[in-house]
Structure 1
Amino acid sequence: MAKRDRQLTKLSDEVGRVGNLIKAVAMEGYTSPSLWAAKALGLELDDWQAEIMEADANRICVVASRQSGKSTITAARAAYTARTNPGFRIVLVSPTFRQSSAMRTKVVGCLQRAEVHYGQSREEIRLLNGSSIIALPGDDPDKVRGATADLVIIDECAFVKENVSAAILPMLTSTGGDLIAVSTPNGPQGLFHELATDKDAHVINVPADRIARFDEDTLSDLRTRLGPARASQELDCAFGVIYKNSLD
């Protein structure tokens, strides 16, 4: 019986190893980033979310409605990029460290769902392939100055201080890296507005009526609570009035 038990254990281990190998091969067989997000993360992607995953440009600007899910899909893009590019350096920046930490947590969630091995500290996620993802606050230029990146993702970019934006761009100078700026508009000012109106940038506009999970009643309620001027900006993605803080 003992010999048989050992044989069964060995067989079980071998079946498990083969199963993991098959799963790994299947993961590598995903033909596109959006398919990976759908299959590995279980996300049901709107067309604009698939566009964010697939966009291949040096400068990408996502002008999105409040509560659109833009941070979630951007975190998925960061996880996919780190997983498929060994030694890649990704920097996440948000208006505050709390928001940057929340973004980092979303990236960790994506890695966990996709069963990608990683280690992490308070600010950094490091994958076995040598790629790293660092979360930095966007309220102090001294905290972002000096970093080098292959990809910078600025979440709620319209609400990051202008002097911080100026400190972020040099991160990409030596690497020729990419920039993804994601935000609800906050008036015709700053880096985000510049990117949104840059003919050379890949601009993805996501007004509320492009979001599948928003029904007419939900949008009507949001418009009533926000008022016409703010709804125009935060739901329809118009660059109107400047606000001090994001409501997202």
Structure 2
Amino acid sequence: MNLARDLSRALRPGWVMHDAGLDPDPWQTQLLVSEEPRHLLLCSRQSGKSTTVASKAVETAIFDPGLILMIAPAQRQSGELFRKAKDIYLALDDVPRIVQESARSMELANGSRIVALPGTEATIRGYSAPKLVLVDEAARVEDALYHSITPMLAVSRGRLIALTTPYGRRGWFYEAWEHGGDYWQRTKISAHDCPRIDAEWLKAERESVGDWAFRQEYLVEFVDTDEQFFSSALIEAAIDPDLEPIW
């Protein structure tokens, strides 16, 4: 690789997306240059969140060689994220060559590996010391799986980026977003923040899918899941934390 080009890239915010022929939004550039170790992305459908973190994976693989894991509730979902990263990588010039690849992983000449995994605790426990972990559809990832991810970062001090649309007021992602404090960096992007999504299309979509789905998928609001009989607000109002349990 060319040292001058490496330096130029390192000093150019969002270079991965630019060099791959993409035009990043300001929030995407900010995430790409972020050094935060823990980041939550609460983003609308079609806002570009997957492309952003795929670009982050590529940049990490080039400049900070090591293991990069892509995790999602299903193999198909993590496989889609991997394909985005691979397409971006193949669009770049003067990068480490790919020495081994499959449908869900690739290894580079500099020692980096990008691996897409299904969201099962047993599968995750087979890996250690990643430089970067990406959790796609994070609101739908079970708590047990999330708690099996974080110990992998203890020694490597790697980064964790979780991206999702909301999925009700439940689960580890909701708790981290609402109550995680300064432990997490947070980015929230609704459909109205994305210049590629037309306002008239959004209006028609709201009429088509209904208010509940629209608020969740496009306004990225933590609304109760549609299968709940009682609302979260009603359940919380019925709980008295000062009461002693009856045994």
TM-score under structure 2 normalisation?
A: 0.83
Shift of 1:142: 0.9
Shift of 1:125: 1.3
1:90 equivalent in structure 2: 68
Could you tell me how far apart the structure 2 residues matched to 1:216 and 1:122 are? Answer: 37
- Quote the sequence identity (%): 31
**What are the equivalent positions in structure 2 for 1:165-176 lying under 5 Å apart?**
165-176=146-157
Cα distance, 1:243–1:174 mapped onto 2, change above 3 Å: farther
Cα distance, 1:31–1:173 mapped onto 2, change above 3 Å: closer
Matched, 1:186 2:167: yes
Shift of 1:32: 4.1
Could you tell me how far apart the structure 1 residues matched to 2:217 and 2:53 are? Answer: 19
Cα distance, 1:38–1:96 mapped onto 2, change above 3 Å: closer
Matched, 1:147 2:127: yes
Q: Which runs of 5+ in 1 are unaligned?
A: 1-19
For residue 208 of structure 1, the aligned residue among 175, 181, 191 is 191
TM-score under structure 1 normalisation?
A: 0.82
1:114 equivalent in structure 2: 92
Contact 2:64 2:131 (C-alpha < 8 Å) held by counterparts: no
Matched, 1:54 2:33: yes
Shift of 1:31: 4.2
Shift of 1:160: 1.6
Q: CA RMSD of the aligned region, Å?
A: 1.9
Specify the structure having the higher radius of gyration (Cα).
1
1:17 equivalent in structure 2: none
Shift of 1:242: 2.7
Q: Deviations over 1:43-73 (max 9, x none)?
A: 1111121122122111100000012121111
Matched, 1:218 2:201: yes
The residue type paired with residue 170 of structure 1 is P
Q: How many residues are paired up? A: 221
The residue type paired with residue 81 of structure 2 is M
Contact 1:33 1:54 (C-alpha < 8 Å) held by counterparts: no
Cα distance, 1:243–1:162 mapped onto 2, change above 3 Å: farther
Q: Which runs of 4+ in 1 moved over 6 A?
A: none
1:163 equivalent in structure 2: 144
Contact 2:61 2:68 (C-alpha < 8 Å) held by counterparts: yes
1:29 equivalent in structure 2: 8
